[in-house]
Amino acid sequence: MKKCLLFFTLIFSSMVYAQDIQIIPQPQKVRAGNGSFAISSKTVIVSKDRKDKRSIDFFNHYLQQFYGFSLQVKNAASTNYISFQTKRFITKPANEGHYTLDVTPRRIVIDGDADVANFYAVQTLIQLLPVERKKTLSIPVVAVEDEPRFGYRGMHLDVGRHFFPVEFIKKYIDFIALHKMNTFHWHLTEDQGWRIEIKKYPNLTVKGAYRNGTIIGHYPGTGNTAQYYGGYYTQEQVKEVVRYAADRFITVIPEIEMPGHSSAAIAAYPQLSCFPDESTKHSPKCVWNGDSTGKQVQQTWGVFEDVYCAGKENTFHFLEDVLDEVMQLFPSKYIHIGGDECPKANWHRCPLCQQRMRDNNLKDEHALQSYFIQRIEKYLNSKGRQIIGWDEILEGGLAPNATVMSWRGEKGGIEAAQQKHTVVMTPGEWCYFDHSQVKNEDSVTIGGYTSVEKVYSYEPVPAQLSEQQSQLVWGAQGNVWTEYMNNVSKVEYMIFPRMSALSEVLWTNKENKNWNDFDKRLQTQFKRYDLWECNYSKAYLKK
């Protein structure tokens, strides 16, 4: 891409018209000019290609929502227009999404290598709009040429620990789109709740989607809410979310956790456990509400020993059935199968798991986990899908085609790339947005400390990797675990402004990144958050 950008003169937005050009993530090339173009209700959109509909609809919806008008779409116009063109694959970029945006006082021209590129141009145009509600919107004269650095630019959301309505999931997807990110990792199953309707196994949601209470405060907690809590997404709602995301060029990757973090599924179907007759265990330090006999959906946080039995064929039949329905709902090539934090104690004392190990010459329970994941991978591969798993899937031997999501630092990502596997980086130190973002948070978080500056400093390609191995780093993702986020406003507070910093880590080439410049642009971004009426941490807001 670098060569084809040469005809542009590189002038950073911070140097010219700093008050007008405040784009996050920073485009690769910005050439500011003199004057402005005025968007009003008389401005028209010129487009001959139905494929631009998604981008145009997004833009018009944004205008309508925040400025109270939208634009007509026509085949041609001589002045006062925003034109969409698509120079299909004249220069095939490494990462899809190369576009130019050219603003003159008479018109705006958007020209992308693909439909998704025009969508990214729209996001840039949106960030040239004033941050206050007005009737005439002045856009500075500018020429932008841009494309993403990484192909995978993701945000994750845990809806297991706390459940969020479809309306918020859509808002979250809009946040992803507005940051030119392209992947929503939807963490749908947990110990504390199963959140996706599976028609063949109704108890997953009848029983598994609800718990009888939740600990209060930081683990082990000061009590229990004693409130029945839960919820789930129907298949119709899931389809609606997937469609909504696709309209914004966002892939939804569902996560169905296995073999661990499966207490809710086991509460629904106890036979999935190595020991169906044993009651669910919880720490004596935590206050439990209601019945504590039999299998229960967890009310507290942590890692639990009751996991799917790897010795029973029925476990695999169940998971294949679940995945069949999941694949019907999610067109994503990648399905996340979890794989993290699976204690091996039950497998160690389970006769069926031990028999499975003998039958397959597996030397320990880590090898049994590897058997489990490889078997699921084979199934998904046979249906044309690929697996992603947390870095524990390296233990006992990596499944042949798996992509590794590195969360326990960078080590798993480095190892996987060295084994020629694709990697998505989500190391806790930089990418866990459940950590505190200021030293003295005014509400409870899981702990840790990951400031926006720290997120911004992240370099997804570990220095240890060779040039060839570096190519296997697909991108990175912000992870949002919601033990301590029980409402949407808290989720917004935890992601902003860190998600904005991560978007620039993933989009903008290293040489175009600059913390001081970002910090200045962030001040305008805070006003955009206000416009969107969303919550955010004000720690970096300059009063």
d(C-alpha 3, C-alpha 354), whole Å:
58
- The number of residues that bind ligand ACM (CB under 6 A) is 4
Work out how close the CB of 208 gets to Zn ion at its nearest, in angstroms, rounded to a whole number: 20
User: In the bound complex, what is the minimum distance in angstroms from residue 480's beta carbon to ligand ACM?
Assistant: 11
CA distances to 31, 93, 94, 347 from 7, in Å? 11, 17, 19, 62
Residue 289 CA to residue 373 CA, distance in Å, equals: 34
Least distance between ligand ACM and beta carbon 425 (Å) = 13
Task: Work out which of 66, 152, 390, 433 binds ligand ACM, going by CB under 6 A.
Answer: 390
352: partner contacted, choices Zn ion, ligand ACM, none (Cβ within 5-8 A by kind): Zn ion
* CB neighbourhood size of 7 (10 A): 9
Tokens 């019945």, residue?
291
Cα torsion 187, 189, 192, 196 to 10°: value is: 110
Minimum CB–partner distance for residue 308 and Zn ion (Å): 8
In the shown chain, the binding pattern of residues 346 to 365 toward Zn ion, with x for contact by CB under 5 A and - for none, equals: ----x-xx------------
Which of the choices ligand ACM, Zn ion, none does residue 390 contact, using the CB cut-off of 5 to 8 A by kind?
Answer: ligand ACM
Binders in 401-430 for ligand ACM, by CB under 6 A: 407
- Residues 240, 321, 340, 519: which binds ligand ACM (CB under 6 A)? 340
DSSP run (H or E) holding 36: strand 29-39
Q: How many CB atoms sit inside 10 A of residue 415's CB? A: 16
For residue 441, state whether it binds ligand ACM (rule: CB under 6 A): no
Given candidates 63, 122, 252, 274, which one binds Zn ion under the rule CB under 5 A? 274
Q: Which is nearer to Zn ion, 305 or 325 (CB)?
A: 305
Q: Which stretch binds Zn ion (CB under 5 A): 34-42, 311-319, 434-442, 513-521?
A: 311-319
- Indicate whether 318 belongs to the interface with ligand ACM (CB under 6 A): no
Asked if 341 touches ligand ACM (CB under 6 A), the answer is yes
Comparing CB distances to Zn ion, the nearer of 376 and 431 is: 376
Nearer to ligand ACM, 84 or 184 (CB): 184
Q: Closer CB to Zn ion, residue 234 or residue 271?
A: 271
The three-state secondary structure class of 99 is strand
Q: Look at the chain and count its residues.
A: 543
* Residue number, 46 or 353, with CB nearest to Zn ion: 353
The token pair that represents 270 in the structure block = 């106890």
Spatial separation of the C-alpha atoms in residues 204 and 193, rounded to whole Å: 9
| Nearest approach, Cβ of residue 306 and ligand ACM (Å) | 17
Residues 6+ apart with CB under 8 A from 355: 311
Q: Could you tell me the smallest distance in angstroms from the CB atom of residue 510 to Zn ion?
A: 48
Burial-class residue 133 by CB neighbours within 10 Å (0-12, 13-18, 19+). exposed
Q: Which residue has the tokens 């973090």?
A: 261
The residue among 205 and 426 lying less far from ligand ACM, judged by its C-beta, is 426
Q: Which is nearer to Zn ion, 353 or 405 (CB)?
A: 353
Which of the choices ligand ACM, Zn ion, none does residue 274 contact, using the CB cut-off of 5 to 8 A by kind?
Zn ion
Q: Which two tokens stand for residue 198?
A: 């599976």
How far is Cα 350 from Cα 28, in angstroms, rounded to an integer? 56
Count of Cβ atoms closer than 10 Å to residue 391 Cβ: 25
Q: Which helix (H) or strand (E) holds 471?
A: none
Contact partner at residue 204 from ligand ACM, Zn ion, none, CB < 5 to 8 Å by partner kind: none
What six digits make up the tokens of 181? Answer: 């990110």
Q: Identify which range of 13-21, 34-42, 263-271, 344-352 contacts Zn ion by CB under 5 A.
A: 344-352
Q: From edge to edge, which strands make up the β-sheet containing 72-74?
A: 29-39, 137-146, 99-103, 107-112, 81-86, 44-46, 72-74
Q: Pick the binder of Zn ion from 309, 380, 393, 501 (CB under 5 A).
A: 309
Interface of this chain with ligand ACM, residues 221 to 280, rule: CB under 6 A: none
Q: Which residues bind ligand ACM (CB under 6 A)?
A: 340-341, 390, 407
Q: Which residues bind Zn ion (CB under 5 A)?
A: 274, 309, 311, 350, 352-353
